[in-house]
Structure 1
Amino acid sequence: MNAQEVRKLFPILHQEVNGKPLVYFDSAATSQKPVPVIEALEKYYREYNSNVHRGVHTLGTRATDAYEGAREKVRRFINAKSTQEVIFTRGTTTSINTVAASYGLSNLSEGDEIVITPMEHHSNIIPWQQVAKKTGATLKYIPLKEDGSIDLQDVESTITEHTKIVSVMQVSNVLGTINPVKEIGAIAHKHGAIMVVDGAQSTPHLKVDVQDLDCDFFAFSSHKMCGPTGIGVLFGKKALLNKMEPVEFGGEMIDFVDLYDSTWKELPWKFEGGTPIIAGAIGLGAAIDFLSDIGLDNIHRHEEELAKYAIEQMSEIEGITIYGPKERAGIVTFNIDDVHPHDVATVLDAEGIAVRAGHHCAQPLMKWLNTSSTARASFYLYNTKDEIDSFVKGLVTTKEYFGHVF
């Protein structure tokens, strides 16, 4: 299935914005949703909307089967050993915070180290800052090479016998850098540390195998991979999850409640307090089916080609700075000399082109890049080279609008 055929399945793309055909280059923030996902959500609400697990009536059974069926789809998609290792959360942020609050606060103390990188999204920085403050642990950063990639020798020199947690994004939401998380994890394990992987930007685009990566925790979000907003996944190795305490308490996650004490359900439900995100899980399951049918390898190859083509075309325009390594995922972050990124995004929007502008929840990385903000074009399976041509013309228009002379 080529990109033009894929596009037919995304209703939102068939519209004009400001009188121009919509070009959506903001999938790193959130992806668009295909018809099969929309229909799966509608079917749940129309035909078997009910709470799960405790009901014995027909609708409750159907909802439970669909909800737990989605968990099995996730398990297969990331190759977890068991559905007990698949916890539904509100998204990547909640998943990482769960690891920080449950595992981090219980297992770290003064003198221990947490190792991350300067390119991390705020959701993989702030939780570890808080753990460090509360436990007395030290937060350390793996330095970046000049192009924004990681050298494994720097990893070796940063991780020590005092390191207890290493947490790294697999793909940078700014630079498009694809980090060697498997190799980083091996170094972490050699020193007795656990490996946490932020998969928010990788899971929608790359084939993920948590057993091959041998990571201890892996977090990702549905809404970046053609699924609904408001739901994500925390994968954790069963042995670690069994030792961890829940961070939310209430219905659904309990086994028995007495007046002064309570016990928890087994995995994964002890981490899913309250009515779960039922429709979201079902929608995520439909998104996984959709992406699996197309093939993650095909998606990644398509996005690599788009990014390469975009960089080639953009490099012909004087005064554009492109950030990140040569080998990258489908993300191109850039600035135009003397034009604020918000102004770039505004002019492009007038041409019907949606890009992201700002610090992208990565202010430490912006500081490392010696800028306060950037513009970002991010591509997905439904984007085309023709759209990139429109985007590049929009950049030329932006320069002309702000008085640049060629």
Structure 2
Amino acid sequence: MNAKEIKKLFPILDQQVNGNPLVYLDSAATSQKPIQVIEKLDDYYRRYNSNVHRGVHTLGTLATDEYEGAREKVRAFLNAQDTAEIVFTRGTTTAINLVAQSYGTDHVGEGDEIVITPMEHHSNIIPWQQLAKRKGAVLKYIPLQEDGTIALADVEKTITERTKIVSVVYVSNVLGTVNPIAEMAKVAHKHGAVMVVDGAQAAPHVHVDVQQLDCDFFAFSAHKMCGPTGIGALYGKKALLEAMEPIEFGGEMIDFVGLQDSTWKELPWKFEGGTPIIAGAIGFGAAIDFVTDLGFNEIEQHEKELVDYSFERLGDFKDLTIFGPKDRAGVITFQLGDVHPHDVATVLDAEGIAVRAGHHCAQPLMKWLDVVATARASYYVYNTKEDIDALANGLVKAKEYFSDVFS
């Protein structure tokens, strides 16, 4: 199935914006949803809406089967060994915070080190900043190469015997850089540290095998890979999760509650307090079915073609700077002369082209790039070379509109 055929499966893309056909180039912020996922959510609410785990009636059993079936789909998607290693969360941010507040609180002490990189999303910076402040730990950064990649020699230099946690984005949401997670995990483990992976941008675009990566934790969200918002998952090695304490308490996660003390359910439910995100998990499972059926070899090849074509169309575009390495995932982050990215995005929106403008929740990286903000076009399975042509033509119009800046 080619991109034009895939695009027809996404109802939202069949519309006009500001009198022009919609060209959606903001999938790094959130992807659009195929009809299969929309219908799965609709089916849950129409046919078997019920709470899970507690009821013995028919609707409750159906909902529980679908909810736990989605957990098995996440397990298989990541190639985790056990469904007990899959904790449903509200998304990547919640998953990383869970690790920081539970594992981090118990294993990081004064003078210990937490290692991250300057390319991290704020969701993979702030939890570690807060943990370091609480515990008197040191937050260290692996330096970046000029093209926005990481050199393993710098990884070796930065991680020491005092390092307890290494937390790194798999794919940068700004540069598209694909980091060498498996190699970094080896270095972390050699020094006795755990490897945490922000997989928000990786899971939709590259094949993920947590056993091959040998990461200790992997966090990702459904909404960036054709699923609903408000649902994600944390993978954790079973022995680590079993030793961790929950950070949210209430119904669903308990085994026995007494007047003075309580005990917790086994994995993974001890981390899922309260009524879970049932519809979201079911939609998550449908999204995994969808992208798995498309095939990650095909997804990666398609995005490589789009990136290569982007450099062909935009690489020699006068006054346009593209940030990041040539070898990347499907993200093109750029600056058009001295025109503010918000102004560029506004002109493009008038042409029906949706791009993201701002600091992309990566202010330390913006500082490293020596810019206040950038514009970003991000691709997914439904994008075509014609979309990139539209972007190129839109940038020509933006340059004409702001011609006084270039005179």
Output one character per residue of 1:360-398: Cα deviation in whole Å (capped at 9) or x when no partner. 000000000000100000000000001100110000000
Contact 1:6 1:382 in 2 (8 A): yes
1:53 aligns with 2:53: yes
Q: How does 1:25-104 map onto structure 2 within 5 Å?
A: 25-104=25-104
Output one character per residue of 1:130-167: Cα deviation in whole Å (capped at 9) or x when no partner. 00000111000000000000000000000001100000
Name the TM-score, length of structure 2 as normaliser. 0.99
Distance in structure 2 (CA, Å) of the matches to 1:312 and 1:339: 22
Distance in structure 1 (CA, Å) of the matches to 2:116 and 2:42: 40
1:210 aligns with 2:183: no
Q: How does 1:272-291 map onto structure 2 within 5 Å?
A: 272-291=272-291
Structure 1 stretch displaced more, 303-312 or 267-276: 303-312
Give percent identity, aligned residues only: 73
Give 2:237's aligned residue.
Answer: 237
Give 1:254's aligned residue.
Answer: 254
Give 1:131's aligned residue.
Answer: 131
Give 1:194's aligned residue.
Answer: 194
Give 1:109's aligned residue.
Answer: 109
Q: Which runs of 5+ in 2 are unaligned?
A: none
SS at match of 2:164: strand
Contact 1:3 1:383 in 2 (8 A): yes
Distance in structure 2 (CA, Å) of the matches to 1:107 and 1:316: 50
Distance in structure 1 (CA, Å) of the matches to 2:285 and 2:297: 19
Distance in structure 2 (CA, Å) of the matches to 1:246 and 1:311: 47
Give 1:331's aligned residue.
Answer: 331
Letter in 2 for 1:284: F
Number of residue equivalences: 406
CA RMSD of aligned residues (A): 0.7
SS at match of 2:53: coil
Distance in structure 1 (CA, Å) of the matches to 2:366 and 2:338: 17
Give 1:393's aligned residue.
Answer: 393
Distance in structure 2 (CA, Å) of the matches to 1:331 and 1:180: 18
Give 2:18's aligned residue.
Answer: 18
Structure 1 stretch displaced more, 121-130 or 315-324: 315-324
Distance in structure 2 (CA, Å) of the matches to 1:315 and 1:151: 25
Distance in structure 2 (CA, Å) of the matches to 1:114 and 1:317: 41
**Per-residue deviation, 1:312:** 1.7
Distance in structure 2 (CA, Å) of the matches to 1:300 and 1:167: 24
**Per-residue deviation, 1:7:** 0.6
Give 1:153's aligned residue.
Answer: 153
Task: Give runs of ≥4 in structure 1 deviating > 6 Å.
Answer: none
SS at match of 1:393: helix
Distance in structure 1 (CA, Å) of the matches to 2:187 and 2:316: 41
Q: How does 1:297-312 map onto structure 2 within 5 Å?
A: 297-312=297-312
**Per-residue deviation, 1:30:** 0.1
Distance in structure 1 (CA, Å) of the matches to 2:208 and 2:317: 36
Distance in structure 2 (CA, Å) of the matches to 1:148 and 1:391: 24
Give 1:143's aligned residue.
Answer: 143
**Per-residue deviation, 1:90:** 0.1
1:316 aligns with 2:330: no
Distance in structure 2 (CA, Å) of the matches to 1:93 and 1:40: 25
Output one character per residue of 1:108-136: Cα deviation in whole Å (capped at 9) or x when no partner. 10111000000000000000000000011
Letter in 2 for 1:312: E
SS at match of 1:226: coil
Output one character per residue of 1:315-372: Cα deviation in whole Å (capped at 9) or x when no partner. 2321001000110000000001110000000000000000000000000000000001
Letter in 2 for 1:316: D
SS at match of 1:104: helix
**Per-residue deviation, 1:304:** 1.3
Q: How does 1:154-173 map onto structure 2 within 5 Å?
A: 154-173=154-173
Contact 1:172 1:178 in 2 (8 A): yes
1:223 aligns with 2:211: no
**Per-residue deviation, 1:81:** 0.2
SS at match of 1:256: strand
Distance in structure 2 (CA, Å) of the matches to 1:68 and 1:333: 38
Give 2:351's aligned residue.
Answer: 351
**Per-residue deviation, 1:192:** 0.4
Distance in structure 2 (CA, Å) of the matches to 1:315 and 1:252: 53
Distance in structure 2 (CA, Å) of the matches to 1:304 and 1:193: 33
Give 1:365's aligned residue.
Answer: 365
Distance in structure 2 (CA, Å) of the matches to 1:254 and 1:262: 7
Output one character per residue of 1:295-322: Cα deviation in whole Å (capped at 9) or x when no partner. 0111111011101111221123210010
Name the TM-score, length of structure 1 as normaliser. 0.99
Contact 1:118 1:144 in 2 (8 A): yes
**Per-residue deviation, 1:210:** 0.3
Contact 1:317 1:396 in 2 (8 A): no
Contact 1:251 1:274 in 2 (8 A): yes
